[in-house]
Structure 1
Amino acid sequence: MSDPDPRSPAMLEAAQRHTDAAVTHVTGSHYAGEHWIACYAVLLLA
């Protein structure tokens, strides 16, 4: 088995920061915000 990529921790941290910043903006009164963005958020969190 090879060594893990040394860039992985930085990439995972960046992904978590993006998730934390974006998930709060999923709800709203517009169809795109209430439906499509929420669908992508579920995929992100799954």
Structure 2
Amino acid sequence: RTGMRMIAARYYHRYPDKNGLQDYDKGDEVMRRLREYEERESNE
């Protein structure tokens, strides 16, 4: 969980300097997967 949050934060942080909006999309994808994981864990 912490690792996924760190990865998303890295994408959001580097957005202006590296791949632009693609980095926002990648950060959003990581957060979507984290949300799915959290939802599965809370249902067990």
TM-score, normalised with respect to structure 1: 0.42
Question: Looking at CA atoms only, which structure, 1 or 2, has the larger radius of gyration?
Answer: 1
Structure of higher RCO (CA pairs closer than 8 Å, 6+ residues apart): 2
TM-score, normalised with respect to structure 2: 0.43
